[in-house]
Amino acid sequence: MSGTESLLKLVANFDAAGVPYMIVGSYSSNFYGIPRMTKDADLVVHLDSKGWQGLTSLLPDDLELEQQMGFEMVTATQREVLRVKGSLFQIELFRLSDDDHDRMRFERRLRRPVFPGVDVSLPTAEDVIIQKLRWSHGAKRPKDFADAVAVMQVQGKSLDWSYINHWCTQHGTLDLLAEAKAEASVVWEADEQGGTQSRP
Amino acid sequence: MKDRIADDARFALLAKVRQARLMSGEAKFLAGFELFNEACAWCLAGIAAQHPEASEAEKQQELQRRLKLAERIF
Task: Give the model confidence (pLDDT) of A37-87 as tens digits.
Answer: 998 999 999 988 888 888 889 999 999 888 666 655 555 568 889 999 888
**What span, in angstroms and rounded, lies between the C-alpha atoms of A133 and A147?**
9
Q: Which ipTM was obtained for this model?
A: 0.75
The answer to whether the CB of A80 falls within 8 A of the CB of A93 is yes
Residue A95 has pLDDT above 60, yes or no: yes
pLDDT of residue A2: 79
Tell me the pLDDT band of A138, cut-offs 50, 70 and 90: confident
CB contact under 8 A, B64 and A88: yes
Residue A45 burial by CB count (10 A; 0-12/13-18/19+): exposed, middle or buried?
Answer: buried
B9–A contact, CB cutoff 8 A? no
Higher pLDDT, A2 or B2: A2
**What span, in angstroms and rounded, lies between the C-alpha atoms of B17 and B23?**
10
pLDDT of residue A198: 43
pLDDT of residue B12: 87
- Please name the residues in contact with A159: beta carbons below 8 A apart, sequence gap of 6 or more: A125, A126, A129, A152
Tell me what the mean pLDDT of segment A9-36 comes to.
Answer: 94
Tell me the pLDDT band of A173, cut-offs 50, 70 and 90: very high
The answer to whether the CB of A51 falls within 8 A of the CB of A96 is no
Task: Round the CA-based radius of gyration of chain A to a whole number and report it.
Answer: 18
Q: What is the pTM of this model?
A: 0.87
DSSP assignment of A6-61, as one string? HHHHHHHHHHHHT--EEEEHHHHHHHHS-----SEEEEEE---HHHHHTGGGGS-T
CB contact under 8 A, A34 and B16: yes
Per-residue model confidence as pLDDT tens digits over B28-67: 988 998 889 888 988 898 899 888 999 999 999 999 988 8
- Interhelix angle B25-50/B56-73, rounded to 10 degrees, is 120
**What span, in angstroms and rounded, lies between the C-alpha atoms of A86 and A63?**
10
B42–A contact, CB cutoff 8 A? no
**What span, in angstroms and rounded, lies between the C-alpha atoms of B31 and A56?**
27
**Closest CB from A35, A116, A190 relative to B32:** A35
Residues, chain B, total? 74
Taking CA–CA distances from B60, the nearest residue in chain A reads A88
CB contact under 8 A, A35 and B15: no
**What span, in angstroms and rounded, lies between the C-alpha atoms of A138 and A148?**
14
Chain B contacts of A196, Cβ < 8 Å? 14-15, 17-18, 21
pLDDT of residue A200: 33
Burial readout B15-48 (b: 16 or more C-beta within 10 A, e: otherwise)? ebbbebeebebeebbbbbbebbbeebeebbeebe
Higher pLDDT, A67 or A26: A26
CA distance B53 to chain A (A): 22
**Closest CB from A2, A3, A115 relative to B26:** A115
Using CA of residue A150, residue A152, residue A153, residue A155, what is the dihedral sign? Answer: positive
Chain A contacts of B27, Cβ < 8 Å? 35
- Which amino acid appears at position A180 of this protein? A
Taking CA–CA distances from B28, the nearest residue in chain A reads A31
**Closest CB from B29, B34, B39 relative to A114:** B29
pLDDT of residue A199: 40
Tell me what the mean pLDDT of segment A96-120 comes to.
Answer: 93
Chain B contacts of A35, Cβ < 8 Å? 20, 23, 27-28, 31-32, 35
Tell me what the mean pLDDT of segment A93-116 comes to.
Answer: 93
